[in-house]
Amino acid sequence: MELPKLIEAACELEGEPVSERTLASIVAGYQDGSTLSSSIIVPGARNDFTTQFIASHENYMSLKEGKVRLCHNIEFTQGEELYVFIHGLGGNLEQFEPLLRLVASTKHSFLAMDLPGFGKSEEWKDYPMLQIVKSIRDVLTNLKQSQKRLVLVGHSMGCYLAVHFYHLYQEHMVIAQLVLLSPPKRAISELQGSLVQWGLWVGYKWPWLFDFYRSWFDQSKGLSSSGIEAFFSSNDISTIGTYRKLWQFHNNVQIKSKSIFGYLIGWEPVSWDQVRVSLTKSSTKLVVMCGDRDSVTPCKDSEEIFRFMPGTIDKRLAIIPRCGHNVCFDSPKETCKLFHEHVLSVE
């Protein structure tokens, strides 16, 4: 199949909802405004915002700390490469849905997971970042995939997890590519300081305080809430564009505040200088992609990471036009096109 048709198929959502309702009927069934946060999580809503593709590749794995949700096509493919997708803070594996379908359509293997405490994975008692990274390795080991050539694809905070994974395991695993989608800046000083740490600890111990703010002062705005406006830059009012925003909102209202604070408390800075040296000595390719209208992790952060990495390595920077933070939902076709050009097509 020609690339434009592959991309069109990967991004088409009509007929995909498990509920078997049309996109138009789903969009019409959820009235935007102050009641959207309650109506979008009623029984049955999950089927409106679960695609046939995700459902057909979904399963669960029990780790020592708890059960995690996976989505993969490993049993259907035999390639030597495995594309591993790692979502960001408060996200879930569904945010990669167009890319997962694109990778599958090109006969490659993929694996995505809901990180512990997010999506439909179980909560942990705490979330040290390096322990989360080890849980990704444990999933690969349990699936007998740790010897594959890995393409690590992180989004937002998932970029930090991907880079940590590379730093910890690049001598023991073959990491062919490191793909950073909307990465945060290299040094996040905002998480430092005793006052900030105290505030995070309060949020972790009493998450209902933040839940109250989210419910009454943010999510009551519906599709004008911060979690939508920050993730989408386009004013796409088409049926499929509105559906993707509703899908994002459906996931947003179910994010566990305690998990957010737990991940921020457990945040581990990346040893960027050491990563830079390791990349120089390896054959790992680096791809950095970001939306030009991203207000969460601005493009300048991606550009700074790209410049910091040595010019002697195979590195690529791709800017997605008219796109916000959730690159796969805000600009799925252009994201798929650039991902195919800079990642899938690279040997």
Give the type of residue at 140.
Answer: L
Nearest C-alpha neighbor of 176 from the set 39, 313, 272: 313
Structure tokens at 239: 């049926």
**Coil, strand or helix at 107:** coil
48 CB-near residues (< 8 Å, 6+ apart): 17, 18, 19, 21, 26, 29, 250
As annotated, the active-site residues are 156
Alpha-carbon distance of 174 to 148, in angstroms, equals 7
- Contact indicator for 220, 7 with CB cutoff of 8 Å: no
CA distances from 272 to 185, 187, 210, 280 (A): 11, 9, 32, 12
**Coil, strand or helix at 343:** helix
- Contact indicator for 113, 82 with CB cutoff of 8 Å: no
Nearest C-alpha neighbor of 96 from the set 116, 108, 112: 112
Alpha-carbon distance of 291 to 297, in angstroms, equals 9
